[in-house]
Amino acid sequence: MKLEVLERDHFYHIYNRGINSENIFLSDDNKSYFLKLLSKHLDGKIEVFAYCLMDNHFHFLIKLVDDEKAVTQAFSNFFNSYAKAFNKQNNRTGSLFEKHFKRIKIQDENYVRNIIQYIHLNPKHHLNIDYKTYKFSSFQSIISTNQTKLARTEVLSYFDNIDNFIICHNFKNDFLTEKFTFE
C-alpha cells in the first residue's frame, strides 16, 4: 500500500496502533511523555486540531505548516524516540507500532468536523468512558479558556462557536450510541 504524501497547508488524520494491537501506553505518564515528544519534534511544523490517546492507539487531526520532508522526518523522529523510551522503560525490544503511521488527507469541511468528533468520541466507543472528561483528548482544551498549543480558534470556527461545538459532539455521541446498541 502506497502511503499518502503529506503536503503543506493540508489536513491529515494521523493514526496508528501498537503492533499486534498491543498497548503503546501503559500509564498516564506514557501518554504525557508522548504528547511532550510530539511538541518537541513537531512544534512549528504542524498545527494540531484534535487528538486522542487510547491505550493501544492514537489519533491526530493535523495541518502541515512546514514542507512534507521536514514533517515526515519529524514524525519519524517522534515515533522512534517514543518507541525507544517505551522499550527501555519496559525492558522490551522490537517494533512498538504497526509498520507506518496511517495518514488520510482531508479536503472537505464536513469531514474535518466529523473527524474532530470521531477523535474526541474515541474514549466513549472504545472504553465506555465519558469523552467530556477524558484526560488524553483535546476536547477539554478546546472548550476551556486556558492557554493551549491547539488550533482552538480554527477548530471552533468549523462549528461556528463553542456552544455548537459541544452540541454537535453531544448529538454525534447520542447518534453513535444508538447506532451501536443494535445487537
- Over pLDDT 90: what percentage of the chain? 78
Instruction: Look over the chain and give the mean of its residue pLDDT values, rounded to a whole number.
Output: 89
Output the CA–CA distances (angstroms, integers) from residue 1 to 4, 57, 146, in the order listed: 9, 20, 41
- Per-residue pLDDT reduced to its tens digit, 67-98: 999 999 999 999 999 999 999 999 999 999 98
For 140-157, what is the mean pLDDT? 94
Instruction: Tell me the pLDDT band of 123, cut-offs 50, 70 and 90.
Output: confident
Q: Which residues of 55-76 are buried (b: 16+ CB within 10 A; e: fewer)?
A: bebbbbbbbbeeeeebbbebbe
176 pLDDT higher than 70: no
DSSP letter for each residue of 72-130: HHHHHHHHHHHHHHHHHHTT--S--B-SS-EEEEE--HHHHHHHHHHHHHHHHHHH---
Domain ranges of the chain: 11-180
166 pLDDT higher than 60: yes
**Is 0.85 topped by the overall pTM?**
yes
For 133-145, what is the mean pLDDT? 94
Distance CA 167, CA 156 (A): 12
- Per-residue pLDDT reduced to its tens digit, 6-35: 999 999 999 999 999 999 999 999 999 999
Say which residues have a Cβ less than 8 Å from residue 114's Cβ, sequence separation at least 6.
Answer: 172
60 pLDDT higher than 90: yes
CATH architecture of 11-180: 2-Layer Sandwich (3.30)
Read off the C-alpha cell for 83.
Answer: 518507541
